[in-house]
Structure 1
Amino acid sequence: MFDPTDLYRLSEDVPELTDPVLLYHFDGFVDAGGAGRLALGHLLAELEHRVVATFDVDRLLDYRSRRPVMTFDTDRWTAVESHEIVLRLAHDTTGTPFLLLTGPEPDREWELFTAAVGTLATRLGAGSLVTAHGIPMAVPHTRPLGVTPHASRGELIAGRPSVFGKVQVPGSVAALIEFRLGAQGHDASGYAVHVPHYLAQAEYPTAAVTALEEITKATGLVFPLEGLRAAAEQTTAEIAAQIEASEELSTAIAGLEQQYDAFAAGTERSLMAEPSEMPTGEELAAQFEAFLAERDERHGD
């Protein structure tokens, strides 16, 4: 029997915590708009934190499919950006401690990795585990973003209806953690933010704001969101300018708005369906490519 604790190394000064929330997100699975990545990345950028445990990425990652970036300068290698899967301790704006687990999604040993997360949660007294990510939906960015909650116990998301029925989808480590650890008695939940399908490949800060607001509702943790909200407002303004300059885009967004409003009014039309006589998500995304490339180049300058 393999020992899951062999997958990570604890820091020398492991803190004594009382029922901290463990937030987690792994890069590599579906995350439309970068909702989960931007959300937890924002917390790491805004809040002080320290490493509690480091995972053995040599065992967990396939370097040939996820090659680290190396720097070559003139005649020698000078740097390498090594991958990390790290558990950190941070404090919210009220001083409440919580844990953050981030990094690339493991390529192998999913079951052992999930068990390792469970042992860390138990060792550190984490009462609940929470994740968030974005999923592409046929919704307009001009309406409030929807969220599909899911949890190991129905009581954790009571009163939250879902637009989904029973579906089968490709699995992820994040989902496996909720499934396996939930079966072992841990409280685990997640929030899938509905991101406009034509913005799924872009960085959409509004989705990250929504994700963190959902986490706050579920956990009581309070986060500094001013900078993220400002980025969301700027991105929304840039998108609006792009749409205003294109009659085709304006017509397409108006159609999505009509579908969204009809659904919200209680009709049987589904947000999952593609409306007729309207560009597909791929076609809309293609029309945004030039805009996004221009925006990224401008921000880089």
Structure 2
Amino acid sequence: MFDPTDLFRLEGELPELTDPVLLYHFEGFVDAGAAGRLALGHLLAELEHRVVATFDVDRLLDYRSRRPVMTFDSDHWTDYDTPELAVHLAYDLTGTPFLVMTGPEPDREWELFTEAVEVLVAKLGVSTLVTVHGIPMGVPHTRPLGHTAHGSKPELAGGSPSPFGKVRVPGSAAALIEYRLGAKGHDTLGFALHVPHYLAQAEYPQAALAALEAITRATGLVFPLDALGEAAERTTGEIEEQISASAELSGAIRGLEQQYDAFQTGAERESLLAEDTPMPTGEELAAQFEAFLAERDDRDS
């Protein structure tokens, strides 16, 4: 029998916490618009925090499938980006402590990793676990950004309508944590942000902003959102500039708007993920955004 406590190491003394919320997101699974990565990365960049536990990435990761970056300078190696999967203790704007678990999604030992997370949840007295990520949807960026809430109890999801029925999808470590710990009586909750499919490969701060707002409504945690809001406004302006320069792209967005509005009013019963609708595919729209994304990358560099 393997011991789940072998998978992690506590960093310093455990803090004394009262029912903290644990937010988590792992890189490697579907995350359209980088919604989850941007959301939790923003919190760690803006809020005071420290690492309270780290996981043994040597056991959990397949380095050959996701090779860490090393830096070579002239005739020698100067740096190695060591992967880290860690739990951070942070404080929101009201001083309320909460936890953030981020890093690469484990490639192996999912069940033992989930047990290790459960041990940490017990040690830290976690009340609720919340995960966020983005999924590509056939929606236009000009309409309100929606999300699908899911959780271990119906009341945790808030009763919001979902565009999905019963579906079978590839699993993830984040979903397994929600499923396993929820089955053992823990409150587990997740938000899947509906990101326009033609922006799924780009960083879309609007999705991260919507994710953090959803977390606030569910948990009461208060986050600094000004910088993220400004990034969202800049991105919207750049997208509109690109669209206005292309009649073809403008027409495609109008078509998506008509489809979305019809779906919202019930005139169409097809899912926004339907493949038989005469709308441009994600690949077709994304191709028209290549120049736009390249220009953004050049400016960021």
Indicate the TM-score class for this superposition, using the shorter chain for normalisation.
Answer: over 0.9
Change in Cα spacing, 1:277 to 1:158, as seen in structure 2 (3 Å) is: closer
Where does the alignment leave 5 or more consecutive residues of structure 1 unmatched? none
SS of the residue aligned with 1:102?
strand
Deviation at 1:202, TM superposition (A): 0.2
Contact kept in structure 1, 2:127 and 2:187, CA below 8 Å: yes
Paired position in structure 1 for 2:232: 232
Contact 1:259–1:275 at 8 Å: present in 2 too?
no
Q: Which amino acid aligns with 1:37?
A: R
Query: Helix, strand or coil: the match of 1:164?
Result: coil
Partner of 1:186: 186
Deviation at 1:275, TM superposition (A): 6.6
Q: Which runs of 5+ in 2 are unaligned?
A: none
TM-score by length of 1: 0.98
Is 1:133 the equivalent of 2:164? no
In 1, Cα distance between equivalents of 2:47 and 2:126: 19
Q: Which residue of 1 aligns with 2:297?
A: 296
- In structure 2, C-alpha distance between the alignment counterparts of 1:269 and 1:14, rounded to whole Å: 50
Task: Measure the CA separation in 2 of the matches of 1:276 and 1:53.
Answer: 48
Kept in 1, the 8 Å contact 2:164–2:271? The answer is no
Establish whether residue 220 from structure 1 lines up as the match of residue 220 from structure 2: yes
Task: Name the structure 2 match of 1:287.
Answer: 288
Distance in 1, matches of 2:49 and 2:165, equals 39
1:65-87, Cα deviation, whole Å (9 max, x unpaired): 11111111111111101000000
The SS at the match of 1:126 is coil
Query: How many pairs align?
Result: 300
Question: Are the aligned partners of 2:60 and 2:108 in contact in 1 as well (CA < 8 Å)?
Answer: yes
CA distance in 2, matches of 1:49, 1:12: 14
Matches within 5 A, 1:263-282: 263-267=263-267, 268-274=269-275, 276-282=277-283
Q: Deviation at 1:294?
A: 1.0
Aligned residue for 2:221, secondary structure, equals coil
Q: What does the per-residue CA deviation read over 1:141-191, in whole Å, with 9 as the maximum and x for residues that have no partner?
A: 000011000001112123211110000000000000000000111100100
Pairwise CA distance, 1:270: 2.6
What does residue 39 of structure 2 align with?
A: 39
The letter of the residue matching 2:266 is: G
Question: How many angstroms apart in 2 are the aligned matches of 1:280 and 1:69?
Answer: 33
RMSD: 0.9
**Identical counterparts, % of pairs:** 74
8 Å CA contact 1:138–1:274 kept in 2: the answer is: no
Offset from partner CA, 1:186-214 (integer Å, 9 cap, x none): 10010000000000000000000000000
1:79-158 to 2 correspondences below 5 Å: 79-158=79-158
Measured after TM superposition, the shift of residue 273 of structure 1 is: 2.0
Q: 1:259·1:269 contact (CA, 8 Å) conserved in 2?
A: no
The one-letter code sitting in structure 1 at the alignment partner of 2:100 is: L
State how far apart, in whole Å, the 1-side matches of 2:92 and 2:149 are.
Answer: 22
Quote the residue 2:63 is aligned against. 63
CA contact (8 A) 1:152 1:189 kept: yes
**d(CA) in 2 for partners of 1:293 and 1:275?**
30
Which letter does structure 2 place at the counterpart of 1:293?
A
